[in-house]
Each structure stands twice: as C-alpha cells, then as structure tokens.
C-alpha cells in the first residue's frame, strides 16, 4: 500500500500492473535521455562563441531531428499499444461481478454464482483501527490466480472504480456498462478509491478487494 513517503509506484499484484510499471520505466528512461541530450547541447551552444554560417538550412540536421523523434515515438507507441490490447482482452472469465457506483458508496452483485449482493460503505470512524478513509464495512472477495471480469456502471453520476496496485481503472457511466478483466497474482487486501469527482462525499467511497484461495472463496460465496 502506498504512503505519503513513498515516491515509486505501488507494488504490482497483477500481470497488467507489472507491464504498466515496465512501460513507465521504459518511457522514463527515454525521457531522461532526451532531457540530458538537450541540456548538453544547450550548454555547448552557450559556450560556443563562434558562428557557423553553414548551420542555416542544413538539410542533414533537418532530416536528423525529424527522423529521430519519429523513431523515439515508435519505441514508445509499440509497448503502449501492446498493454492497451492486453487490458481490453477478456479470456473466459470464471467469475463476473457487477459493480454499481452510487452517491456515495459502491454496490456489488455476484450474479453468475449464488445471488449475492453487497453494499460497501466506508467504515465508520469509531470502528477504524488502521486504514483511515480506506477500509469499508463489506469487502468484495475474489480468488487469486483466477481470471475474473467486472462489469461497471453507475446509477446517478460519473464515478471511477480504481485499484492502483492491480492496474485497474474504469469509469462508471450512467446508462452504460463497461467491463474490465483481472487476474490477481497473490493473496492480500488491495485498496482503491473513486477517481472521478462525483460530489460532496467523493473522497469517502473507498474500494477494498480481498484476494483469497479458491477454497475459501467458494466457502464464503456458499454461506
């Protein structure tokens, strides 16, 4: 879980988040290389007191600084498109959860198994022990290493269902059903919050997903 002292991205708990972190590092390295090159050229130009009359309308320089940015953009675009296709792909989900955003809480429905409906509100201050503004009274549960799908919509205004450590973010739009696919690598609690300004209590509708073994999930869903 991220804290205010942490500067890096949250630890990944899904293949998608791993790819997003790799892409972030890849793009950051390219950006730093561009920055250092431009800074070096600017410093050399400040030190150079001579004027090269052949520098104006130099075709080789024009060609170079046109082709080089195009190649850089290609090296960024290819892995970016690959991740986008991975995030959109739905591969035979074992479990489907329907998620609805409300002002200001989330509701969940496990409709393909036993009919289970959950309303998830932020935990009251009196009961909080550790996770301030992050814990909820009813957590959703999913088995790890299992392909799952989430259908997301809203009953009133725009919301956004987000869990950073899983690399998940999908808008909840009234009258429209969006879907995301996920597979979790490890057990644990994963926290998120609404990421779309949705009204007065926008900051008070957190998300908590609990990843467990399949046998514990089956036991929980059959209660």
Q: The pTM is what?
A: 0.77
CA dihedral 127, 131, 137, 143 (to 10 degrees): -140
Beta-ladder partners of 63: none
- Please name each of the domains of the chain with its CATH number: 15-88 (1.10.287.90), 95-221 (2.60.40.420)
Determine the 3-state secondary structure of 142 from DSSP.
strand
Q: How confident is the model at residue 16 (pLDDT cuts 50, 70, 90)?
A: confident
pLDDT of 157 higher than 70: yes
Q: Which of 81, 84, 83, 61 is nearest to 73 (CA)?
A: 81
pLDDT, mean of residues 146-166? 89
The predicted-structure confidence for 92-144, as pLDDT tens digits, reads as follows 888 888 999 998 899 998 877 677 888 888 887 655 556 777 888 888 888 88
Phi, psi (deg, nearest 5) at residue 163: -130, 105
Mean pLDDT, the chain, rounded, equals 84
pLDDT, mean of residues 170-198? 89
pLDDT higher at 191 or 90:
191
The pLDDT, as a whole number, for residue 32 is: 93
Collect all residues with Cβ–Cβ distance below 8 Å to 98 and sequence separation of at least 6: 108, 109, 111, 150, 151, 153
The predicted-structure confidence for 27-68, as pLDDT tens digits, reads as follows 999 999 999 988 988 887 777 666 665 666 667 878 888 898
Q: Which of 68, 90, 112, 46 is nearest to 182 (CA)?
A: 90
pLDDT, mean of residues 206-221? 87
């Amino acid at each position: 879980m991220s804290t205010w002292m942490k500067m890096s991205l949250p630890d990944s708990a899904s293949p998608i988040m791993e790819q997003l972190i790799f892409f972030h590092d890849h793009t950051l390295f390219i950006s730093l290389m561009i920055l250092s090159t431009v800074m070096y050229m600017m410093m050399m130009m400040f030190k150079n007191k001579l004027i090269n009359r052949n520098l104006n309308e130099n075709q080789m320089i024009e060609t170079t600084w046109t082709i080089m940015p195009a190649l850089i953009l290609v090296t960024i675009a290819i892995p970016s498109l690959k991740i986008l296709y991975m995030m959109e792909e739905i591969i035979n989900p074992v479990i489907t959860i329907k998620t609805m955003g409300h002002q200001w809480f989330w509701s969940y429905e496990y409709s393909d198994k036993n009919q289970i409906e959950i309303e998830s509100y932020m935990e009251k201050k009196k009961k909080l022990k550790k996770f301030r503004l992050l814990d909820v009274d009813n957590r959703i549960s999913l088995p790890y290493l299992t392909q799952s799908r989430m259908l997301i919509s809203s009953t009133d205004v725009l919301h956004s269902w987000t869990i950073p450590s899983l690399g998940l973010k999908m808008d909840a739009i009234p009258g429209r059903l969006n879907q995301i696919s996920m597979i979790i690598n490890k057990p644990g609690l994963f926290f998120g919050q609404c990421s779309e300004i949705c009204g007065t209590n926008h900051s008070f509708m957190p998300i908590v997903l609990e990843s467990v073994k399949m046998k514990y999930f089956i036991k929980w869903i059959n209660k």
